[in-house]
Amino acid sequence: MYPPTERTTATRMRDRMSYDAAAAHAVLDEGYHCALAFVVDGEPRVLPTLHVRVDDTLYLHGSTGSRPLLAARTGDGLPVCVAVTHLDGLVFARSQFNHSANYRSVVVHGSARLVTDEREKLAVLTALVEKVAPGRAGDSRPPSRKELAETAVLALPLREVSVRARAGGANDDPADLDLPYWAGVLPLRLTPGIPVPADGVTAPVPAYLRPARSPWLDPVVLRGEHVVLEPLDESHAEELYAALDDEEVWRYVGSPRPGSAEEMAGYVRAALDAHHRGVRTPWVQRCAVTGAVVGTTSYYQPDPDLRAVEIGYTQLGRPWWRTGINTEAKLLLLTRAFEELDAVRVTWQTSTLNERSQRAIERLGATREGTLRSNRRRADGTWRQSALYSMLAEEWPNAQVTLRERLRPAVPAAS
pLDDT (tens digit per residue) in 206-240: 888 877 678 899 889 999 999 999 999 989 999 99
Question: Contact at 8 Å (CB) between 399 and 338?
Answer: no
Q: Which CATH number fits domain 14-187: 1.10.3720.10, 3.60.15.10, 2.30.110.10, 3.40.190.10?
A: 2.30.110.10
Topology adopted by domain 209-407: Aminopeptidase (3.40.630)
More confident residue, 19 or 330: 330
Statement: residue 413 has pLDDT above 60:
no
Question: Contact at 8 Å (CB) between 165 and 24?
Answer: no
**End-to-end CA separation in angstroms for the chain:** 87
The pLDDT value recorded for residue 65 is 65
In the chain, domain spans: 14-187, 209-407
The pLDDT value recorded for residue 75 is 66
Cβ burial of 362 (10 Å; 0-12, 13-18, 19+) is middle
Q: How far, in Å, CA of 94 to CA of 99, rounded?
A: 8
- Closest among 161, 113, 155 to 5, alpha carbons compared: 161
pLDDT tens digits for range 64-96: 666 666 666 666 788 999 999 999 999 999 999
The amino acid sitting at 39 is: V
- What proportion of the chain, given as a percentage, has pLDDT over 90? 69
Q: Of the given ranges (30-34, 152-156, 375-379), which has the lowest mean pLDDT?
A: 375-379
The pLDDT value recorded for residue 66 is 66
CA dihedral 216, 218, 223, 227 (to 10 degrees): 90
pLDDT tens digits for range 280-327: 999 999 999 999 999 999 999 999 999 999 999 999 999 999 889 999
pLDDT tens digits for range 101-140: 999 999 999 999 999 888 999 999 999 999 999 999 999 9
The pLDDT value recorded for residue 415 is 43
pLDDT tens digits for range 365-397: 999 999 999 988 887 889 999 999 999 999 999
Instruction: State which of 37-46, 60-69, 90-99 shows the largest mean pLDDT.
Output: 90-99
* 151-178 average pLDDT score: 93
Q: Alpha carbon of 344 to those of 41, 168, 213, 218: distances in Å?
A: 71, 40, 20, 18
Enumerate the β-bridge partners of residue 34. Answer: 49
- Closest among 67, 80, 57, 64 to 152, alpha carbons compared: 64
